[in-house]
Amino acid sequence: MHRRPPRFPAGSLLRPSAGHREPDVCSALLHGRLAADGPGGLAQLRAGLHPHAQRFRLLARRHPRRGPAEPGDDGDRGPQPADDRGLALGRHGAAAHRQRAFSRARQVPGGLLFVSGVLVRNTRPEDFSTITEICRDVYPNTPPWGPKQLQSHLDIFPEGQFAAELDGKVVGMAASLILLWDDYDIQDSWRDITDHGMFTNHDPEGHTLYGAEIIVRRSAQGRGVGKAIYKAREDLVRRLGLWRIRAGARLRDYSGYADRMTAKEYVRRVVRGELVDRTLTFQLRRGFRVVAVIQTYLLNDPASLGYAALIEWLNPDAAGEAQAAAADAASSAFR
């Protein structure tokens, strides 16, 4: 159950199951489930009627389960559709407020790591053009990260953005944000979790570092760059005292097996070592565990058919018994 303010009914915050949950609060305009007035209606959620109403604006998000990509949709990192512009403050207003209040407090010394010849440091504006070039090298059919998105990451959470250098040249990058995980559904898409790649939903009060992206130039793959980036993320989580890292592991090779098995069975066999997925297998070797399979994580991705595995790495210095028990229970379905 969510933390809830006094005198606010708890019934609407209960979730049917741990594996699949409906959105906690639904907008009548977007979901058609709440009346405009009356008990539980939208009138009760308007800012000003309750001192904690702003928190519930964060929960009343548009849900991403939209089915196939719409005509003209140019991928997950592409520009926001016109009808979504300006919604970030409404959907993530509480998180945005906490960014302003706590952004300086979250900064800690660090951000520089040297592992096996790979230098990992925090991203700088002068890296943007190289990052865009790397994106095009690895994903030529997907819109690359743009300067507006990358600058937003630095403005909001500079400590979570990394560039990896090999022989003095940037060959990889990582982008991440902090989330208050209870504000999200286990099946939320990449777009919803990252607010269309802008990270304006970054929440300094969260306990989860969400790995939105790791990319390594093709010519540098297999040289320890990815491992060094993951080590930098783990160090960041330890320094900030966060509970865990979570990320969506794109099922890169699933399309070749989709006619023979479900995505969940595919993930189960990858976890058992019976199959190799070029993305998920690498992350499992880094100590991650699978806690769920997401059905519509990506748009326009023929390789994964939109599927991803939700993976988790627990920080042994901060995660409590409750977090460890929950992770064990969720990952048991894939053993």
User: What is the C-alpha separation between 151 and 128, in angstroms, rounded?
Assistant: 8
Query: Would you state the pLDDT for residue 159?
Result: 96
The answer on pLDDT for 212 being more than 80 is yes
Q: Per residue in 101-138, is it b (16+ CB within 10 Å) or e — as a string?
A: eebeebeeeebebebeebbbbbbeeebbeebbebbebe
Distances (CA, A) of 142 to 6, 138, 307: 46, 9, 16
The answer on pLDDT for 132 being more than 80 is yes
Average pLDDT over residues 78-84: 49
Domain 107-242 CATH assignment equals 3.40.50.1820: no
Query: Would you state the pLDDT for residue 76?
Result: 65
Query: Would you state the pLDDT for residue 52?
Result: 38
Tell me 49's DSSP state: S
User: What is the C-alpha separation between 216 and 204, in angstroms, rounded?
Assistant: 28
Residue 321 — pLDDT band, cuts 50, 70, 90?
confident
pLDDT digits over 134-165, tens only? 999 999 988 999 999 999 999 999 999 999 99
Q: Where are the domains of the chain?
A: 107-242, 244-335
Return all residues near 150 (Cβ < 8 A) that are at least 6 apart. 123, 125, 128, 131, 161, 175
User: What is the C-alpha separation between 189 and 191, in angstroms, rounded?
Assistant: 5
Query: Would you state the pLDDT for residue 320?
Result: 85
Residue 198 — pLDDT band, cuts 50, 70, 90?
very high
Question: How, if at all, do strands 169-179 and 162-166 pair?
Answer: antiparallel
What's the pTM value of the predicted model, to 2 decimals?
Answer: 0.71
Q: How many residues does the chain have?
A: 335
Mean pLDDT (the chain, rounded): 78
pLDDT digits over 254-280, tens only? 999 999 999 999 999 999 999 999 999
The answer on pLDDT for 37 being more than 80 is no
Query: Would you state the pLDDT for residue 94?
Result: 65
